[in-house]
Amino acid sequence: MDIYLVGGAVRDRLLGYPFKDRDYVVVGATVDDMLQQGFSPVGKDFPVFIHPQSKAEYALARTERKSGVGYKGFEIFASPDVTLKEDLRRRDLTINAMAQNDEGLIDPYGGMADLEAKILRHVSPHFTEDPLRVLRVARFAARYAHLGFSVAPETIELMRTMASSGELLELKAERVWQEIARSLGERSPEVFFDILRQCGALAAVLPELDALFGVPQPEKHHPEIDTGVHTMMVLHQAALLSTSPRVRFAALTHDLGKGLTPREYWPSHHGHETKGLIALKELQRRLRVPNEFADLAAKVMEYHSHCHRALELKASTLLKLLESIGAFRQQQKLDDFLLACEADSRGRLGFETKAYPQVAWLKKVFCVASAVNAEEFVAQGLSGRAIGEAIHAKRIHLIQHLKKEMAL
| Residue 141: closest CA among 161, 125, 119 | 119
CB-based contact 249:193 (threshold 8 Å) = no
pLDDT score at 342? 98
Domain boundaries, the chain: 1-122, 131-202, 206-362, 371-405
Confidence of residue 277 (pLDDT cuts 50, 70, 90): very high
If you average pLDDT over every residue of the chain, what do you get? Answer: 94
pLDDT tens string 284-306: 999 999 999 999 999 999 999 99
Q: Does the structure show a pLDDT above 80 at 43?
A: no
**H-run or E-run covering 34:** helix 31-36
When pLDDT is averaged across residues 195-220 and rounded to a whole number, the result is: 97
Residue 70, pLDDT > 50, answer: no
Question: What is each CA distance from 63 to 45, 72, 87, in whole angstroms?
Answer: 14, 16, 6
pLDDT above 50: residue 69 = no
pLDDT of residue 74: 55
Write down the architecture of domain 206-362 according to CATH: Orthogonal Bundle (1.10)
CA dist 371 to 186, 311, 333, 335, 340, Å? Answer: 38, 21, 17, 17, 25
When pLDDT is cut at 50, 70 and 90, the band that residue 18 belongs to is confident
Name the fold adopted by 1-122: Beta Polymerase; domain 2 (3.30.460)
Looking at the chain, the whole-number percentage of residues with pLDDT higher than 70 is 97
Give me the pLDDT at residue 375, please.
87
Q: What is the mean pLDDT of residues 184-211?
A: 97
At 160-189, the pLDDT tens digits run: 999 999 999 999 999 999 999 999 999 999
Confidence of residue 75 (pLDDT cuts 50, 70, 90): low
pLDDT-based confidence at 381, cuts 50/70/90? confident
> Which of 38-42, 90-94, 363-367 is the least confident region?
38-42
Read off the pLDDT of each residue in 376-384 and give the average, rounded to a whole number. Answer: 88
Percent of the chain with pLDDT over 90: 82
Mean pLDDT of 78-92: 90
How would you classify the pairing of strands 150-151 and 2-6? unpaired
Do 279 and 260 touch, CB atoms closer than 8 A?
yes
pLDDT the model gives residue 68: 53
- Count of H-run helices and E-run strands, the chain: 19, 11
Contact 213, 197 (CB under 8 A): yes
User: Region 365-382: what's the mean pLDDT?
Assistant: 91
* CATH T-level topology, domain 131-202: Hydrophobic Seed Protein (1.10.110)
